[in-house]
Amino acid sequence: MTLILKASELQTLADMPGTIAAVERVFAGLSRGTAFQPAPDSLLLPSSDARFLPMAALSSAEELASVKLLADIPANRESGLPTQRSTIMLVSQLTGETLAILDGKVPTRVRTAAASAVATKLLARPGSTTLGLVGAGALAVAHVEAMLAVLPIENVVVWSRSADTVAAFCDEISHYGLNVTRAASVREVVEAADVLCTLTPAVEPLVKGEWFQPGLHVNAVGSRPRADHREIDSAGMVRARVFVDSLATARAKSGGLIIPVAEGVMSFEDVEAELGDVAAGTKAGRLGDEDVTLFNSVGIGLQDLAIGRLLYDAALIHGVGTRVELNN
């Protein structure tokens, strides 16, 4: 039987601390060779700006193969529709049975924040107390929850182009009792932060490396998986010690890395390590309090596999979802 799980059901099952642990586990598995993660293809036609990315992954620890089909359609914004939609399929690594089909909205948001939390745990200064957020939507709310799981965050400095979005964000996180500052500029956020998360679908960079303060850790996770989109300028990439989720994926899909390499100001060999190497203990993370560290990510299928395992198991325990016999 295949379990069909819709977004409203997944929202009730999502568990941030569990997802952080699962994402760290599969990152380490990628480094150790117990998980496999190919760089995703980007399917496109000359008649449209839409991209379709099949994001596949395989993990022996989770006993799963998975694929998420991500539809990235910027033109949807003009119709008031989501610009990104996705569906995740989970398949038993042992039997090949299709175990579940999940709407991708909730898993993608939670696992993205969880990956930032793993990077922050491994790369940020342990005593960091001020979280800076460039972007204030649902992903920013998830990042507050994720950062609180790994750091003693007391202060949040947030910026968005939309005052209404910032107001809604403040309401969403009010129960945490944090000191929240509504910044007038991106620069104000960057210069105040111990940990900075950039969470916007920017095409041109919003964040400049000249604003980076010693000791900063950056999670750059908002840009679309496109070679010409980025949130951080080239000076920022050169200034920081850069870590990625998957170098093969970053080389193909991350404008934040591809553009400064094309400009000749850095090379792919300047990337310090994949995050999984740090999680597995084979590569060093932060070397000192003055380091500027940067996690550059466009997301990988192993993150979807990790949270998919958790959500599927939780759905079975709680009796959530619709069972379908696909082979019938």
Instruction: Retrieve residue 9's tokens.
Output: 């059901």
Catalytic residue among 68, 105, 121, 253: 68
Structure tokens at 222: 């908002």
Please give the structure tokens belonging to residue 192: 């105040």
Q: Structure tokens of 21?
A: 């642990």
Q: Say if residue 15 is exposed, middle or buried (CB neighbours under 10 Å; 0-12, 13-18, 19+).
A: middle
Name the token pair of 13.
């099952």
CB 41 within 8 A of CB 306: no
Environment class of 41 (CB within 10 Å of its CB; exposed 0-12, middle 13-18, buried 19+) = middle
Strand order in 293-296's β-sheet?
179-182, 155-159, 130-134, 195-198, 217-220, 293-296, 241-244, 273-274
Max Cα distance, the chain (Å): 61
Residue 68 bears catalytic tag: yes
Active-site residue list: 68
